[in-house]
Structure 1
Amino acid sequence: MTDRAAAIQGDDTLTEADRQGLYRVLLSRRDVRGQFLPDPIPDEVLARVLTAAHYAPSVGFMQPWSFILVRSPEVRGRIRQAFAKANDEAAEMFEGEARATYRSLKLEGILESPINICVTCDRDRVGPVVLGRTHIPTMDLYSTVCAVENLWLAARAEGLGLGWVSIISEPALKDILGLPERVVPVAYLCLGRVSHFFAQPELESKGWRKRLPLADLVTLDRWEGERDEALGAELAKAQARAEGGAPM
């Protein structure tokens, strides 16, 4: 392996506007289900979003991801049927009021969005021994999730909504999309223009779950370790700004 000096970035200083813009995208990202518009996504916009996904970090620079663009009404119809079956099964796992609330939720936009994207992980892309995956073999899956997050944030920056459909049988999804055994469907996403973005995550506004206090989740040195009280106070203030839409 040759020893080459790596080029460095020129002006790597982000402006205050850059910084606040990034936080705005992060904090206004939503899981979109019911607000999709049928407008097609221009190829140049889709290319930017997919490029952002491709530039995600990956352990060992393995880049295990691929992106299947699902436009066919027939294929999306089969995906929607697989979702409906899994969704009925999932509803039965809850009881009482939780089951009723679950059934009231819209949890996908498979047919309403103009395009679906399946983000996959090829677990054999770079062979059996991968730098950084020698002791934690699931690092390729985690790397692929980084690509999903990049795609999601870029979509929000472009004014696009994105929804992650996770209530679906993995074998059914693999069969419909013709995935080989070594390839894992990490995320099935619905992407498109939307009529609006909600101020809060829908599951929070509908009472399914509340956002946890960040200060309760940060400890020192070990699980259930001590908490840094001064940092905890800053975490609480930062979360309050995030919740209130104030600049970070």
Structure 2
Amino acid sequence: MPTAPYTDAERNAVYRAIYERRDMRHFRPDPIDPAILERLLHAAHAAPSVGFMQPWRFVRISNLELRKNIHALVDQERVCTAKALNEREDEFMTLKVEGILDCAELWIAALCEAREQHIFGRRTLPEMDLASLSCAIQNMWLAARAEGIGMGWVSLFEPEALKSALAMPEGSHPVAILCLGHVDSFYDKPLLEHQGWAERKNLKALLFDNCWNIPCP
């Protein structure tokens, strides 16, 4: 593998994908080219994983009734989340939080069963399996943006209910519902920021020097 740095154009393309990646909620239904979809899945599978455990599993939802059932699970959790937000309940209910019935492709990202056998890098930090899957999802997200494909990560669901719906084995764990599809345009900033739900924090406030809460110079 060459050690030479990327050209300016190549490097700029990487940063462009990072800064223009968006959690998409609005999709067109037209299908994704199978070759593009395959590239996205290979990008996910190329992610780093602690101890090279590769804990990710991806389930394609091609059955329309199952897709509708998953949407119902998400809508149920949406209502529960709204109630848990107390004074922000009404505000939350106005947000668009998923595109499950609109996107061309629906995938479930999950952790495989029997993960306890993977000890390398996880003896004191067992959650590194989740960190590894998150890297795979991020790889797919960035590749999708580079391909001009929108992707949205939905986490509003009760894991055991989704696990049952997909006949997943004991010890496995669903983590994300991934909506993939063509979009008319990408949001110019995160949708929740655009809708006034939250703002991006200042990076300097998140950087510490040697000790917690000691600002970097």
TM-score by length of structure 1 reads 0.84
**Does structure 2 retain, via aligned residues, the 8 Å contact 1:25–1:153?**
yes
Looking at structure 1, the residues matched to 16 and 81 of structure 2 have their Cα atoms a distance apart, in angstroms, of 34
1:87 Cα deviation after fit: 0.8
Return structure 1 stretches of 4+ with deviation > 4 angstroms: none
Q: Corresponding residue for 1:190?
A: 179
Q: Corresponding residue for 1:10?
A: 2
1:11 Cα deviation after fit: 4.7
Matched, 1:151 2:140: yes
Q: Corresponding residue for 1:121?
A: 111
Q: What RMSD, in angstroms, separates the aligned Cα atoms of the two structures?
A: 1.3
Looking at structure 1, the residues matched to 215 and 188 of structure 2 have their Cα atoms a distance apart, in angstroms, of 34
Report which structure shows greater RCO (CA 8 Å, sep ≥6).
2
Looking at structure 2, the residues matched to 189 and 42 of structure 1 have their Cα atoms a distance apart, in angstroms, of 17
1:123 Cα deviation after fit: 4.5
Greater mean deviation of Cα atoms: 154-163 or 129-138: 129-138
Looking at structure 2, the residues matched to 142 and 129 of structure 1 have their Cα atoms a distance apart, in angstroms, of 14
1:101 Cα deviation after fit: 1.5
1:12 Cα deviation after fit: 3.7
Task: Pick one of 79, 86, 97 that aligns with 1:95.
Answer: 86
**Does structure 1 retain, via aligned residues, the 8 Å contact 2:159–2:175?**
no
**Does structure 2 retain, via aligned residues, the 8 Å contact 1:62–1:130?**
no
CA deviation digits over 1:82-141, x for unaligned, max 9?
Answer: 111111111112234x2222111110111100111111111425x624211122111111
Looking at structure 2, the residues matched to 65 and 12 of structure 1 have their Cα atoms a distance apart, in angstroms, of 31
Query: Rg: which structure is higher?
Result: 1
How has the CA–CA distance of structure 1 residues 123 and 138 changed in structure 2, closer, same or farther, with 3 Å as cutoff? farther
Q: Corresponding residue for 2:25?
A: 33
Task: Pick one of 123, 127, 142 that aligns with 1:134.
Answer: 123
Q: Corresponding residue for 2:62?
A: 71
Q: Corresponding residue for 1:21?
A: 13
Determine helix, strand or coil for the equivalent of 2:145.
Answer: helix
How has the CA–CA distance of structure 1 residues 12 and 208 changed in structure 2, closer, same or farther, with 3 Å as cutoff? same
Determine helix, strand or coil for the equivalent of 2:58.
Answer: strand
Give the aligned residue type for 1:101. E
Looking at structure 2, the residues matched to 12 and 73 of structure 1 have their Cα atoms a distance apart, in angstroms, of 48
Looking at structure 2, the residues matched to 150 and 179 of structure 1 have their Cα atoms a distance apart, in angstroms, of 24
Give the gaps of 5 or more residues in structure 1. Answer: 1-8, 229-248
Give the aligned residue type for 1:211. R
Q: Corresponding residue for 2:192?
A: 203
Q: Corresponding residue for 2:37?
A: 46
Looking at structure 1, the residues matched to 21 and 118 of structure 2 have their Cα atoms a distance apart, in angstroms, of 36
Matched, 1:58 2:49: yes
Determine helix, strand or coil for the equivalent of 1:144.
Answer: helix
**Does structure 1 retain, via aligned residues, the 8 Å contact 2:110–2:172?**
yes
TM-score by length of structure 2 reads 0.96
Looking at structure 1, the residues matched to 144 and 60 of structure 2 have their Cα atoms a distance apart, in angstroms, of 15
